Amino acid sequence: MSDEQTTHFGYKQVAVEEKADQVRQVFDSVAPRYDLMNDLISLGIHRLWKRRTMELAGVRRGQRILDLAAGTGDLCERFAGLVGQDGAVVATDINAAMLGRARERLTDLGIAGNLRYIQADAEALPFPTNHFDCISIGFGLRNVTHKQSALEEMFRVLRPGGRTLILEFSRPTSRPLSRAYDLYSFSVLPVLGRLIAGDADSYRYLAESIRMHPDQETLRAMMEQAGFEHCAFFNLSGGIVAIHRGYKL
């Protein structure tokens, strides 16, 4: 099978047409304990990463927001409060189980009027060109099969003057931190996945998918190739996580 017909699924090579289904199976498996596992594996620090994303987004009342790979809706919850009832937040995810968890959780919190839920593939967004004021994707881009296509779609549906933010695991900036992070990711994380979520393999895949994701400079170059301008990244927790931001001018 040629390189054009395969892509990485963690450290494995799989047929391109199979990756989306395999990613979907991972998140079907982890959805019931997803929020609990996020708190455990990040020691709650993921909340600070998301707060910083909100600060960099600069969202205002009345704006239209698209959150890709919305998961259980952490970013959507924050966006909905910022844009108010005059604004709109669209939560999308390729995985129906995760999107269902988001709808259930946010409805229980009383957040409904300015939120819509649409199952969608980031590589083929069902939205008009120049539509959203801000686009976000939190910990989801690394799971997309064709990342450049997804970036181009984000650029297409973003209105001129709008901005896109990508919150994602990245490359630690120091060698000692990188070693400690690898030890945690491949020794501790699968054990937590087995004990808490009953699924070590899915969390082993998540650790591998992080290592296969483009580093900070490479992702910035990919955003520029897609058309974004004034692209920059902001390292958090020593580069374990980075927020990339780009504008459509």
Sequence spans of domains, the chain: 20-173+205-247
- The tens-digit pLDDT sequence of the chain (249 residues) is 445 688 988 888 889 888 888 877 877 777 777 787 788 889 899 999 999 999 999 999 999 999 999 999 999 999 999 999 999 999 999 999 889 999 999 999 999 899 999 999 999 999 999 999 999 999 999 999 999 999 999 999 999 999 999 999 999 999 999 999 999 999 998 898 888 878 888 889 889 999 999 999 999 999 999 999 999 999 999 999 999 999 999
Half-sphere exposure of 240 (CA within 13 A, CB side): 17
140: nearest Cα among 185, 74, 42, 59: 74
CB atoms inside a 10 Å sphere around CB 92: 24
CATH of the domain spanning 20-173+205-247, picked from 3.40.50.150, 3.90.1150.10, 3.40.1080.10, 2.102.10.10:
3.40.50.150
Q: Identify the burial level of 68 via C-beta atoms within 10 angstroms of its C-beta, where 0-12 means exposed, 13-18 middle and 19 or more buried.
A: buried
* Element holding 113 (H helix, E strand): none
**In whole angstroms, what is the distance from residue 190 CA to residue 188 CA?**
6
Query: Rounded to 5 degrees, what angle do the CA atoms 23, 38, 20 make?
Result: 10
